[in-house]
Structure 1
Amino acid sequence: MKNQLLALLLFGCSVFTVQAQNPTIPYGDNPEVGKYAEVNGIKVYYEIYGEGEPLLLIHGNGGSIKSSTPKIDYYKDKYKVIAMDSRAHGKTKDIGDSLTYEQMTADVNDVLDQLNIDSCLIWGQSDGGIIGLKLAIDYPDKVKRLAVFGANLRPDSTAVDDDNATFVKNMIANETDDYKLRLFGLLVNQPQIPVSDLAKITAPVLVMTGDRDVIRLEHSLEVFYNIKKSNLFVMPGATHFGSYEKPELFFKVLDNFFTQPFTTTSTYDIIKNIKF
């Protein structure tokens, strides 16, 4: 049971990915399309599927391209899907350095540069959502539209559910593997994104969360309220892994965000011009 909880919390929804389907395409280990980009002293592994408008998928902590299997399978006939293994994840080798979201974000930006992608749609799960927010803050031209599920700005109790925070701290206390400890360090000590930085985001953002997420609903609201061009979706009866738990609902909402005109029209904007 302990190992299952660890897999769910730390390793990018890999359990849900395996349960969801058994794809004939070996996403994350496909020699026919897999390539490496040399950036910032490492070789970042990536795979590209489909053609058209680019869509970047960013996996969660401890995950890999394989974690995005349902998304790749769904979107590869609609977009040019770009999936990559973050620094020290998947086939992007661990070089033993300290992991930071700033460095991982710079890696993603530089890979996009090498692929000659000026801007793209972006989906990020958990830590991938944090990287997505950092991209929108630090490299705004790269982000056409951004959707994040279960992303947080800080690791404290105002953002993360107490039970889950305690669980991770207990895991650290009993862990000796350096690699896992550095991944846990991302959860416990990072990110540290000032709320004021959200004002730098110019692209439309869809803030997604489960109503039983590890990220406090109040915190997701804080993110939503501080991004000028943002919409909010709270998935009912869903956890941090809502995109895997309710894929039909997830894809319906995400498709709408990616394809329909973006709006922040309020109720007051509508009724103020009504003649009673």
Structure 2
Amino acid sequence: MTEWSGDMQGTGRYAEVNGVNLYYETRGTGSPLILLHGGLGSGEMFGPILPTLAERHQVIAVDLQGHGRTADIDRPLEPEFMADDVAALIDHLGLDRPDVVGYSLGGGVALRVAARYPSKIGRIVAASAYIRSDAVYPEIRGQQGQMNAAAAEFMQGTPMYELYQRVAPRPEDFPRLLDKIGASMAKDFDLTEEISGLQVPTLIVAGDADMAPPGHFVEIFALLDGGQRDGGWMGENRPKGGHALAILPGCTHYNLFLSPLFAAATLAFLDERQG
């Protein structure tokens, strides 16, 4: 099992936004990069790649509602609300169009930030984030439907459980988190229209053995004008919005966030500023 923890060695603070006491840690210097973790995790998930990202950016690793060091509130656990929280955090910190990088749940949040608040951010990286609920493999969809408080007992000893018990303000809330995230995953959704209209340069990242087939992420890229023609000798025919796609070899949904390839692809996209 992957160890979902790491010594981020950053400066941790809380910001009161939208009724959530949102925890974030800051590390490094340079242009700001907001980093969003996956479901049942926290910013600590990125421990192994944080030093690489922080060499070139001021990384602001956020613990989303009900995750990590951010306590839950009486509000559904929905990516749309979390996107509103990220936008409010940008205002709270006075950031000038930071980039937003998210994995899995965090990737879905990043996409929604881009769709809802394009003027507040620079570029986004959405990793292992599918845009239709029916895109994931059927067996995974079935497992998601079984996520609820009753699963807490069976998750003891997993990286998700151990991390939550170590850092959460109320460790006893883990079953509540499972209930709420299970209810969220059970909902059907389709972000096709929102993604088609993105005005923010976006990198879509997936593992070659991810939770959804590679073709789904190619489909997302196509919505962003990608894969429609030869790019040209000088890249003059690349997607008009500066979008890009990366399918990472040897990566699954469960280890992509730790991969040096993910860090390298992210930095290349954010720092080259092409398109």
Query: Normalization by structure 1: what TM-score?
Result: 0.78
SS at match of 1:224: helix
Change (3 A) 1:152 1:35: same
Equivalent-residue separation in structure 2 for 1:241 and 1:173 (angstroms): 22
- On the 8 A contact 2:23/2:69 being kept in 1, the answer is yes
Is 1:54 matched with 2:32?
yes
- How much has 1:179 moved relative to structure 2? 2.5
- Checking the alignment, whether the CA contact within 8 Å between 1:235 and 1:242 is kept in structure 2 is no
For residue 231 of structure 1, the aligned residue among 244, 247, 269 is: 244
Structure 2 gap segments, 5+ residues each: 153-174, 226-240
Q: Cα gap change, 1:169/1:49 in structure 2, threshold over 3 Å: closer, same or farther?
A: same
Taking a change above 3 Å as real, the CA distance of residues 262 and 242 of structure 1, as seen in their structure-2 partners, is farther
Note the 1:5-154 alignment, pairs <5 A: 15-18=2-5, 23=7, 25-26=8-9, 33-154=11-132
Mapping of residues 104-253 of structure 1, within 5 Å: 104-156=82-134, 159-172=135-148, 174-175=150-151, 177-189=175-187, 192-228=189-225, 229=241, 230-244=243-257, 247-253=259-265
**Contact map agreement 2:147 2:178 (CA 8 A) in 1:** no
Aligned mates of 2:191, 2:119 — CA distance in 1: 20
- Counterpart CA distance in 1 for 2:150 and 2:63 is 27
Deviations 1:142-166 (A, max 9, x none): 221111111012322xx11112112
Q: Which residue of structure 1 lines up, in the alignment, with residue 166 of structure 2?
A: none
Partner Cα distance (2:252, 2:104) in 1: 12
CA distance in 1 between counterparts of 2:251 and 2:22 reads 32
* Amino acid across the alignment from 2:196: A
Q: Is the 1:56–1:122 Cα contact (8 Å) retained in structure 2?
A: yes
Q: Which amino acid in 2 is paired with 1:100?
A: E
> What is the deviation of 1:26?
4.8
Q: Is the 8 A contact 1:50 1:81 kept in 2?
A: yes
Hey, what's the Cα distance between the residues in 1 that align with 2:206 and 2:271? 20
Q: Do 1:46 and 1:85's aligned partners in 2 also have CA atoms closer than 8 Å?
A: yes
Question: For 1:26 and 1:51, how far apart are their aligned partners in 2?
Answer: 14
Equivalent position amino acid for 1:239 in 2: T
Q: Tell me how far 1:16 sits from its aligned partner.
A: 4.2
- 2-side partners of 1:109 and 1:193: how far apart? 22
Instruction: Give, in angstroms, the shift of residue 77 of structure 1.
Output: 2.5
- Quickly say closer, same or farther: Cα 1:109–1:196, change in 2 above 3 A: same
Superposed CA offset, 1:78-129 (max 9, x none): 2111111101111111124211111111011101101001311221100100
The 1:137–1:237 alpha-carbon spacing in structure 2 relative to 1, beyond 3 Å, is: same
What is the identity percentage for the equivalent residue pairs of Structure 1 and Structure 2? 30
Q: Does structure 2 conserve the Cα–Cα contact (< 8 Å) formed by 1:49 and 1:81?
A: yes
Mean CA deviation greater in 252-261 or 82-91: 252-261
Cα deviations by residue, 1:33-77 (Å, 9 ceiling, x for unpaired): 211111111210111112220011000111111112123222222
User: In 2, Cα distance between the equivalents of 1:89 and 1:131?
Assistant: 14
Quote the residue 1:30 is aligned against: none
Distance in 2 between residues matched to 1:200 and 1:52, nearest whole Å: 29
Aligned residue for 1:237, secondary structure, equals strand
Whether the 8 Å contact between 1:204 and 1:262 is mirrored in structure 2 is no
Amino acid corresponding to residue 95 of structure 1 in structure 2:
I
Instruction: Please give the alpha-carbon distance, in whole angstroms, between the structure 2 residues aligned to 1:173 and 1:62.
Output: 13
Letter in structure 2 aligned against 1:241: Y
TM-score w.r.t. length of structure 2: 0.79
Residue 8 of structure 1 aligns with which residue?
Answer: none
RMSD: 2.1
Deviant stretches of 4+, over 6 Å: none
**In the TM superposition, what whole-angstrom CA distance separates every residue of 1:181-204 from its partner, at most 9, and x where no partner exists?**
1112222226x2431111331121
